[in-house]
Structure 1
Amino acid sequence: MKVDTKGHTITIKDTESSIEDFLIKVTTQYNSFKSHNLILDISHDKTVETSTIKQFDELSKKHKKSKKSFVLVAANIDFNAVPTAILVVPSLLEAHDIIEMEEIERDLGF
């Protein structure tokens, strides 16, 4: 797991052997990330499917409840099949753009 902090955002890149192991590690260390916007980058794993993405649902809801952004970066998935509670984008640049937009919305009171 590689962690990179940039302003109010923490990007965590998956370096684990499986997505499940990565999710467990992020969940157990969640308290150190909870006050930042989170980008979880699982794009290196080209075998990620919608069912794998759904495993992040609980963590996503928990993080958004604290008024922080939660974005997954994944490649080669059907973005239309992903639950609306989980925000998934194909690149890190798009993840940062989404977080900027959500920050502006929160500043405006939306």
Structure 2
Amino acid sequence: MKVDQKGHTVTIKDTQGDVNAFLEKVTQQFKTFEKHNIIIDLSSDKVSENDLKLFLPLSKVQKKAKKSFVIVATDLDFNAISDKLVVVPSLLEAHDIIEMEEIERDLGF
């Protein structure tokens, strides 16, 4: 697991290729990151829609705290993914989504 912090955003990248073990590590250390916007980078992993659903509880916690939670994953049918998760194909798009959500929160939406 590799953690990179820039401003109000923390990018957490899976380095082992095991989504379940990665989710467990992120969940254990979640209190460390909860005050930041979070990007979960699974772009180097082969993940399914079901794997992504495992991150839903963390996403809900972040939304309640008025923080962003974005997952980066490739080779997926993005239309089949739950509307409750924000999943994008690149880190650039993840940062763009967080920037837009920050603006929305500043405007009171």
TM-score when normalising by structure 1: 0.97
Q: Which residue of 2 aligns with 1:38?
A: 38
1:56-89: CA deviation from partner (whole Å, max 9, x where unpaired):
1111111111000000000001111111111000
Contact 2:17 2:44 in 1 (8 A): no
SS of match in other structure, 2:83: coil
SS of match in other structure, 1:32: helix
The runs of 4+ residues in structure 1 deviating greater than 6 Å are: none
1:102 counterpart = 2:101: yes
SS of match in other structure, 1:100: helix
Aligned partners of 2:40 and 2:16: how far apart in 1?
A: 12
Segments of 5+ residues of structure 1 without an aligned counterpart are none
User: Match for 1:8: what amino acid?
Assistant: H
Contact 2:11 2:41 in 1 (8 A): yes
Aligned partners of 1:57 and 1:80: how far apart in 2?
A: 17
Aligned partners of 1:72 and 1:80: how far apart in 2?
A: 15
Indicate the percent of aligned positions where both proteins have the same amino acid: 62
Contact 2:36 2:67 in 1 (8 A): yes
Alignment of structure 1 residues 19-98 onto 2, 5 Å = 19-45=19-45, 47-98=46-97
Aligned partners of 1:4 and 1:18: how far apart in 2?
A: 19
